[in-house]
């Protein structure tokens, strides 16, 4: 196999690795990204607006699909018949819980990781966080303060598309926002109840698009966010930092898989691994 040289290697393609890939590619570097599982493909791995009655197991998944795996429990709402679970989610790492505890180690090994299915809440840290030690007398303050980090919060919000409102709360500083997600009747009822006891009810800071933004369509509120967005209407590595919508040189992404079934061998590039070439090097 010929030797190929890269300017940078990024290990992992989730929230942190995906952004690192994007910025390095935009700077003109040749980037190799290493990921433990396959490249996430929304057309294959996401619900694509299918309803339970469209699926053989009514969305619950084949009860025998995890037979023989170290961890045989599906991961709550993210995994099931919609997301082709065993391919995207890690079930081969065995672990145990302490007596009396009920916890599971949810790991997505597809590119983008769990940031493909996250809750999208995107509040800023304020000085109540950066200077917490000065306020409560424990630990150490951060080496930076809010004023220094605020421009970077703004840059991230403008790229991701964060929907919210100006609320004038020092504990949760305001940012650069898209229009808020429209409230339901229930939200107004709770807001009025909160006023009676002096508790504000306010929109979250949510990385979900209420209007078209940076080449991505607005959310149409199909309600299936936790199984992956079919339209790319909330921030995730799969739709934003990895794809990049052609705005930058795409990274090479190599995913590691096993060899022939049951062999336990690691695949070699070209034998179960995918190497994504940039247009310049195709």
Please answer whether residues 157 and 120 qualify as being in contact, where contact means their C-beta atoms are separated by less than 8 angstroms: no
Q: Quick one: average pLDDT of 142-164?
A: 96
Q: What is the tens place of the pLDDT at every residue in 67-103?
A: 887 777 777 667 777 665 557 888 787 778 888 887 7
Residue 123 DSSP code: P
Is the model more confident about 134 or about 46? 134
Residues above pLDDT 70, as percent of the chain: 84
Q: How far is CA 167 from the centre of its chain?
A: 26
Is the model more confident about 234 or about 56? 234
Please answer whether residues 253 and 274 qualify as being in contact, where contact means their C-beta atoms are separated by less than 8 angstroms: yes
SS3 234: strand
Residues above pLDDT 90, as percent of the chain: 50
Please check the confidence at residue 264 and state whether its pLDDT lies above 60.
no
Distance CA 216, CA 161 (A): 10
Q: Quick one: average pLDDT of 142-166?
A: 96
Write down the pLDDT at residue 56: 86
Write down the pLDDT at residue 84: 56
Confidence band (pLDDT; 50, 70, 90) for 180? very high
Q: Give the residues across from 208 on adjacent strands.
A: 234
Confidence band (pLDDT; 50, 70, 90) for 276? very low
Q: Quick one: average pLDDT of 173-178?
A: 97
Write down the pLDDT at residue 258: 36
Distance CA 277, CA 170 (A): 46
Please check the confidence at residue 54 and state whether its pLDDT lies above 90.
no
Q: What is the tens place of the pLDDT at every residue in 1-34?
A: 788 889 999 999 999 999 999 999 989 999 999 9
Write down the pLDDT at residue 225: 87
* Dihedral in degrees, nearest 10, Cα atoms 75, 78, 82, 84: -50
Of the listed ranges 88-97, 146-155, 172-181, the one predicted with least confidence: 88-97
Please check the confidence at residue 233 and state whether its pLDDT lies above 70.
yes
Write down the pLDDT at residue 255: 64
Q: Quick one: average pLDDT of 140-147?
A: 96
Write down the pLDDT at residue 55: 83
Please check the confidence at residue 262 and state whether its pLDDT lies above 50.
no
Residues 6+ apart with CB under 8 A from 131: 141, 142, 145
Residues 6+ apart with CB under 8 A from 227: 46, 47, 77, 78, 80, 82, 83, 117
Q: Mean pLDDT score of the chain, rounded to an integer?
A: 83
Write down the pLDDT at residue 19: 93
Name the one residue in this structure whose structure tokens are 């006891």.
Answer: 197
Write down the pLDDT at residue 271: 33
| Residues recorded for the chain | 282
Question: Pick from 106, 93, 64, 94: which is nearest to 81 by CA?
Answer: 64
> Which burial class, exposed, middle or buried, applies to 155 when counting CB atoms under 10 A from its CB (0-12, 13-18, 19+)?
exposed
Stated as kind and residue range, the H or E segment containing 8 is: strand 8-11
pTM recorded for the entire structure:
0.80
């Amino acid at each position: 196999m010929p030797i190929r040289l890269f300017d940078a290697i990024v290990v992992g393609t989730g929230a942190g690795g995906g952004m690192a890939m994007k910025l390095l590619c935009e700077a003109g570097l040749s980037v190799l990204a290493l990921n433990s599982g396959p490249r996430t493909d929304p057309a294959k791995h996401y619900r694509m607006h299918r309803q339970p009655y469209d699926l053989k197991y009514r969305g619950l998944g084949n009860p025998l699909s995890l037979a023989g795996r170290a961890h045989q429990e599906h991961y709550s709402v993210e995994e099931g018949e919609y997301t082709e679970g065993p391919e995207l989610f890690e079930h081969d790492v065995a672990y145990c819980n302490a007596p009396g505890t009920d916890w599971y180690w949810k790991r997505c090994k597809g590119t983008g990781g769990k940031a493909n299915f996250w809750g999208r809440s995107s509040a800023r840290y304020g000085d109540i966080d950066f200077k917490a030690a000065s306020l409560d007398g424990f630990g150490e303050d951060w080496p930076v303060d809010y004023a220094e980090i605020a421009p970077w919060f703004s840059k991230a919000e403008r790229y991701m598309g964060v929907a919210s409102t100006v609320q004038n709360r020092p504990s949760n500083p305001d940012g650069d926002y898209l229009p808020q997600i429209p409230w339901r009747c229930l939200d107004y009822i709770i807001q009025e109840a909160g006023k009676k006891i002096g508790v504000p009810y306010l929109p979250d800071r949510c990385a979900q698009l209420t209007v078209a933004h940076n080449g991505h369509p607005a959310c149409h509120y199909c309600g299936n966010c936790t199984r992956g967005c079919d339209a790319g209407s909330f921030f995730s590595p799969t739709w934003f930092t990895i794809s990049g919508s052609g705005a930058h040189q795409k990274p090479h992404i190599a995913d590691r898989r096993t060899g022939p079934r049951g062999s336990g061998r690691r695949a070699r590039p070209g034998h179960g691994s995918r190497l994504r070439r940039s247009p310049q090097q195709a």
